[in-house]
Chains A and B, each alone.
Chain A
Amino acid sequence: MKIITSLKIAIVSLVVLVSGCNQPTDTQEDAAQDTQEDEAKVKEVLLAYKSGIEALSVEGLEDLFMKDSEVFESGGVEGSFDHYLGHHLAPELKAFESFQFSEHKVTAKIDLPYAFTTETYNYTIVLASDGRTISQKGVGTSILKKVDGKWKILKTHTSARAKKSSESGH
């Protein structure tokens, strides 16, 4: 009888132990929560950049990038973000009446200290000179790095293509 009781206790203990192993521990839950928070912060950085472009304002955009960042746009090597800002983005935004992103989607994979993102979106530019509209379908891949608790863009590559007539919405 004692043997059966001992066996029952052993089986119950084993079941409890195994089921305990399958339950996420506090540490695992904390790590998952940290990853979700990092994902949200990474997305905030990318959205802040898009918001700046839509506002046709470059104010504060440098803070979103590392000093030694690298920017690539449709086959071109643009240098650091500071260089891109001075030689490409800032002059270009002055030529636009509006710049709108739509259908923006972003996925982020966190592997500290890095985050790897892929964005898809459509953008529509209206030129200030003649009101001409340019609509393109774009993708952006970026590497962000967490430095001193802040996520910054280390490398970003965007490219675009003409929207198919079925995607133009016209």
Chain B
Amino acid sequence: MKIIQSFVLVLLSIISIQVTMAQSDTDQVKSVMKKYKETLESLDVSDSFALFTEDSQVLESGKIEGTYADYIANHIGPELGHFSSFTFTEYEIDVQVDLPYAFTTESYIYTIILKEDGKQIERKATATSILKKMDENWKIVKTHSSSRAVKK
């Protein structure tokens, strides 16, 4: 009887450790995605390169933008200069971890206010990303975002 109890205890400990580790990875992945959103909201992407792998791929609404460095240089970098604010609301994230990968789905509404005329752009968006754990750090390998008009 004692042997069975000990066996069950060991088994429960192993399961508990695995659940804790998985939660920890999930939290780390959420933290990377949160940091990326905060970077965009700050309109300053200079410290965000480490969130992506060097050979990352960024896709946005029907277009391959290239690596994250390409995307910064040719699209989002210059674009942010035209915004007086960029905010995310109703943000939700789902994370599935299967080491060394994590697959995320984010849904949110983004609101941009243009510097030039104060015009407001509001869109409902979805982003799906693949992250990989490399040297204990989670990095975005691929991210695809798309948006549509917000239903009023």
Contacts of B59 in A (CB 8 A): 118, 139, 141, 159
Other-chain contact of A75, B63, B123, B142 (Cβ < 8 Å): B123
A15 within 8 A of B: no
Q: Could you say which residues of chain B place their CB within 8 Å of the CB of A104?
A: none
- 12 new A-B pairs (CB below 8 Å) besides A75-B148, A139-B62, A159-B60? A73-B146, A75-B126, A75-B147, A120-B64, A137-B63, A138-B62, A155-B128, A159-B62, A159-B144, A160-B61, A161-B62, A161-B63
Does residue B83 face the partner (Cβ distance < 8 Å to A)? no
Q: Which residue of the partner chain B has the closest CB to A73?
A: B146
Interface size (A, Cβ < 8 Å)?
Answer: 24
The answer to whether the Cβ of A96 comes within 8 Å of any Cβ in the partner chain is no
Shortest Cβ-Cβ A-B pairs, 5 listed:
A161-B62, A159-B146, A75-B148, A75-B147, A160-B62
The answer for the CA separation of A74 and B123 in the assembled complex, in Å, is 11
Judged by a CB distance under 8 angstroms, whether A114 is at the interface is yes
Contacts of A137 in B (CB 8 A): 62-63
Which of A74, A76, A118 lies in contact with B61, CB distance below 8 A? A74
Binding site for A on B (CB under 8 A): 57, 59-64, 98, 101, 103, 105, 107, 123-126, 128, 130, 141-142, 144-148
In the complex, A75 Cα to B149 Cα: how many Å? 9
Report the bound CA distance from A120 to B59 in whole Å. Answer: 11
Q: Give Cα A143–Cα B144 distance, bound, in whole angstroms.
A: 12
Interface SS majority for chain B: strand
Q: Given known contacts A72-B128, A75-B123, is B61 in contact with A161 (CB within 8 Å)?
A: yes
A116: chain B residues within 8 A (beta carbon): 130, 141-142
A157: interface (CB < 8 Å): yes
Q: Are B103 and A141 in contact (CB under 8 A)?
A: no
A136 touches B62 (CB 8 A): yes
22 contacts between A and B (CB under 8 A): A70-B105, A72-B128, A74-B61, A74-B146, A75-B126, A75-B146, A75-B147, A77-B105, A77-B107, A116-B141, A118-B59, A139-B62, A139-B144, A141-B59, A141-B128, A141-B142, A143-B130, A155-B105, A157-B126, A157-B144, A159-B60, A159-B146
Cβ contacts under 8 Å, B123 to chain A: 75
Specify the chain B residue showing the minimal Cβ separation from A158: B146
- With A118-B64, A120-B64 as given contacts, are A157 and B146 in contact (CB-CB < 8 Å)? yes
Q: Which residues of chain A in 121-170 are interfacial with respect to chain B, using CB atoms and an 8 Å cutoff? A: 136-139, 141, 143, 155, 157-161
Nearest CB to that of B150 among chain A residues?
A: A75
A141 CA / B58 CA spacing, docked (Å): 10
Nearest CB of A to B103, in Å:
6
Complex Cα distance, B148 from A76, in Å, reads: 7
Q: A111 to chain B: which residues have CB within 8 Å?
A: 101
